[in-house]
Amino acid sequence: MVLPRKLNEQEIEKLQPWYKPGKWFTSPATWFQEVRAMSPNLPKKVHIQETTLREGEENVSVSFTLDQKVEIAGKLSTMGVECIDCGYIGNPYQEETAKRILAAKVIKSPTKLILNRMCGDLINNLDALKAAADRAVEIGCGAFGPVCLQVPETPSQMKAYEDLTYYIKKTHPGLHVSFGITMASGSFRVLKNLGMRKYHTLQLELAKIITQAGADRISIADTMGCASPSAWKFIASDFRKAIGPDKGLTLHNHNDFGLAVGNAVSGVEGGADWLDVVICGLGDRAGNTSFEEAVLALEGIYGIDTGIKLDKLYDLAQYVQKASGAYTQHWKAVIGDRVWAESSHAAGLINLKREGKSFFEAGMEAWNPEIVGQSHQLFFGKVVINPSVVEGFLKYLKLNYTKDTIDKIVGAGLKEIDRRAAAGQDRWLTEEELNDLCRKMAK
């Protein structure tokens, strides 16, 4: 829910933005005036750049065929992704990826393809960077991403970045330019030479210069995944002040400390309005910001529009896992295939199911799995296969039984779980398996 203006607490209470019938119910505390006041730059919309085809394939478990990349690009465009990262100019495989996707005509407006180019010693390689921008346009990309690897320390170095940006926008006025500033959270090597505050100040100065020269957005990267959420919010806030309210600010986060999604969301609180994400959280080392977790958190908790069709997330995640051979843990948030396989609450949920009632509306979950294309599964383990639950099954199936029947079914169920555990199989019984056990033993 996008709030049209600043509302007082009584107006927010009436709107109840934390509750969307059939979808989610999140903590109302997110909407307290004191909490909202801590994020004055919170955007109304966050745009999504997806980098499974580039960063995702840097995961040592992952590789895709070109046909699979075309399929993934089509799925991303259909679900509302605005920019798809294909890799780097000068890499024949990644250039071919972009060409094949464009030739297949699987992406529709407003989705753009972006190819990037690393900027090292820019002064001595200015012509190469200009040629890279030309090449991106020649291939047919709608966006180009020069990436700053070295923080410019002198006026002449700063001017080189300014000249590059002027050239690109003058030569290719319709090209979307996303200028990357890597290691925005700092690195030991750079900080050792420049010092903490000077390094940060130079980055802000660079961002200001290149956006004034015409860059459409700045992309800052916590390349080593080493920032805290509070630091990343501060960094994003400072960059937002430097570039003003009308330029885009992208966050690229790594998950080395398990904080990629938390940092991404904190950065949005600081004023970022683009996120660089990867489906299933794939990526270099520990991975990157998880596409599905980030967009659901922004939509459900913050009420921020991402333009993403949430009901296609699970399908995309399933395809990427099968195509890459890199499978997530069963319990991964949002797209894990056992996230909605309930056991501990199965005794209560089975009664709601029989009555045709919504698990979500009954207050048994924070959000309805159907909104991301998931569905519920009920499993019955040792704690749940007890006399009262078994009696409920027998009554529902309209079977005759005695106390002895119930005890035998409970015993048989527990014995079967132990057998499966010893054989290395899934231990718990499905609803239908427990139905069959009841039918067999009551008969």
Specify whether the CB–CB gap between 313 and 335 falls below 8 A. Answer: yes
Q: What is the dihedral of CA 25, 29, 34, 38, to 10 degrees?
A: -60
Nearest to 144 by CA among 123, 124, 167: 167
Nearest to 282 by CA among 255, 305, 303, 302: 255
The tens digit of pLDDT for each residue in 49-88 reads 999 999 999 988 889 999 999 999 999 999 999 999 999 9
Same domain, 216 and 358: no
Same domain, 80 and 211: yes
**Cα atoms in the Cβ-side hemisphere of radius 13 Å centred on 67:** 1
Same domain, 158 and 180: yes
Same domain, 122 and 267: yes
Question: CA 185, CA 173: separation in Å to the nearest integer?
Answer: 31
Domain-located, residue 331: no
Specify whether the CB–CB gap between 326 and 407 falls below 8 A. Answer: no
CATH number (domain holding residue 93): 3.20.20.70
Find the mean pLDDT for residues 19-46.
Answer: 92
Specify whether the CB–CB gap between 28 and 15 falls below 8 A. Answer: no
Domain-located, residue 191: yes
Same domain, 200 and 69: yes
Residue where a domain stops, chosen among 289, 324, 359? 324
Same domain, 313 and 389: no
Domain-located, residue 334: no
Q: What is the dihedral of CA 71, 76, 80, 81, to 10 degrees?
A: -140
Specify whether the CB–CB gap between 180 and 221 falls below 8 A. Answer: yes
- What pLDDT is attached to residue 312? 96
Question: Across 123-268, where does the E strand assignment appear?
Answer: 143-148, 176-181, 217-222, 248-253
Domain-located, residue 95: yes
Question: CA 273, CA 11: separation in Å to the nearest integer?
Answer: 26
Same domain, 277 and 233: yes
Domain-located, residue 272: yes
Same domain, 85 and 141: yes
Torsion angles phi and psi, residue 331, rounded to 5: -100, 15
Domain-located, residue 416: yes
Domain-located, residue 241: yes
Same domain, 7 and 96: no
Q: Helix, strand or coil for residue 87?
A: strand
Per the structure, the complete domain to which residue 379 belongs is given by 341-442
The count of structural domains within the chain is 3
The tens digit of pLDDT for each residue in 145-202 reads 998 877 788 898 899 899 999 999 999 999 999 999 876 655 555 566 667 788 889 9
Same domain, 162 and 30: no
Confidence band, pLDDT 50/70/90 cuts, at residue 42: very high
Question: CA 429, CA 378: separation in Å to the nearest integer?
Answer: 9
Q: Whole-prediction pTM value?
A: 0.89
Residue where a domain stops, chosen among 324, 357, 377? 324
Residue where a domain stops, chosen among 324, 351, 367? 324
